[in-house]
């Protein structure tokens, strides 16, 4: 059985005892899919693997169950914007103690920052005020529509843990197209010399122990 060394959990959240996978709909208007965004970021062509996962020659993107990605533990990493497929402008950051902490503009693809966060937090994107100023968190119960707005993949290179890819949906309610490609962020926690053109440098941490992916 495949296991992922994922950071996030402070434990299963109330009301999320049964692990689920949020449905991701196909993008429209020639927008990029998750596989295509990963291909552009990591310099290899990704294809569908088992179930909801993706794979390339040396990378494996392992979809994380929704109840395991909502609240994250503290640590250090490098965050890089790897894609934005949206007409809206927004900022990527995190929410801690009720406050949104801005990190990167999502329309600046390739921009990156080193970060360290102590304690528990939620990843988030915030649309610009001219686009409504909505805040969409990884913890769906804190969103105004109580729906999931972020999905996560644990990334492995040759079975060694490499980092995480976060994909956000920036429209709320039942009008959303639910393609989760409106903003895409790569978190790296180890040196990543194969990340094409992004000069990523992992800093280790985020409260987990890196592990190898077990096949089978």
Taking only the tens place, the pLDDT of each residue in 93-116 is: 999 999 999 999 999 999 999 888
114 domain-assigned: yes
143 domain-assigned: yes
11 domain-assigned: no
Partner residues linked to 194 by β-bridges: none
111 domain-assigned: yes
Q: Are 6 and 209 in contact (CB under 8 A)?
A: no
pLDDT at 130: 77
pLDDT at 172: 82
Rounded to an integer, the average pLDDT of 148-160 is: 95
Whole-structure pTM value: 0.84
pLDDT at 1: 30
pLDDT at 28: 83
Measured CA to CA, the distance from residue 185 to residue 187 in angstroms comes to 7
Per-residue model confidence as pLDDT tens digits over 15-71: 444 568 999 999 988 899 999 999 999 999 999 998 899 999 999 999 999 988 999
pLDDT at 167: 98
Rounded to an integer, the average pLDDT of 180-194 is: 77
153 domain-assigned: yes
In eight-state DSSP terms, residue 207 is T
pLDDT at 19: 61
Per-residue model confidence as pLDDT tens digits over 191-213: 444 443 343 333 334 433 344 45
96 domain-assigned: yes
Domain of residue 127, CATH code = 2.60.120.400
Our count of domains for the chain comes to 1
Q: Where are the alpha helices (DSSP H) in the chain?
A: 34-42
10 domain-assigned: no
Domain that holds residue 180: 64-188
């Amino acid at each position: 059985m495949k296991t992922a060394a994922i950071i996030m959990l402070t434990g299963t959240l109330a009301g999320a005892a049964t692990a689920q996978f949020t449905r991701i709909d196909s993008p429209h208007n020639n927008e990029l899919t998750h596989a295509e965004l990963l291909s552009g970021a990591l310099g290899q062509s990704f294809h569908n693997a088992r179930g909801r996962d993706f794979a390339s020659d040396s990378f494996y993107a392992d979809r994380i169950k929704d109840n395991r990605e909502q609240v994250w533990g503290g640590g250090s990493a490098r965050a890089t914007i790897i894609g934005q497929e949206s007409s809206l402008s927004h900022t990527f950051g995190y929410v801690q103690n009720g406050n949104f902490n801005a990190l990167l503009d999502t329309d600046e693809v390739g921009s990156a920052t080193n970060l360290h966060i102590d304690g528990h937090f939620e990843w988030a994107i915030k649309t610009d005020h001219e686009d409504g100023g909505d805040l969409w968190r990884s913890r769906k119960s804190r969103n105004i529509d109580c729906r999931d707005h972020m999905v996560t993949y644990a990334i492995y290179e040759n079975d060694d843990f490499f980092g995480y890819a976060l994909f956000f949906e920036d429209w709320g309610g039942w009008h959303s197209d639910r393609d989760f490609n409106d903003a895409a962020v790569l978190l790296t926690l180890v040196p990543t010399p194969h990340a094409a053109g992004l000069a990523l440098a992992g800093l280790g941490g985020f409260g987990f122990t890196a592990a190898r992916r077990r096949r089978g």
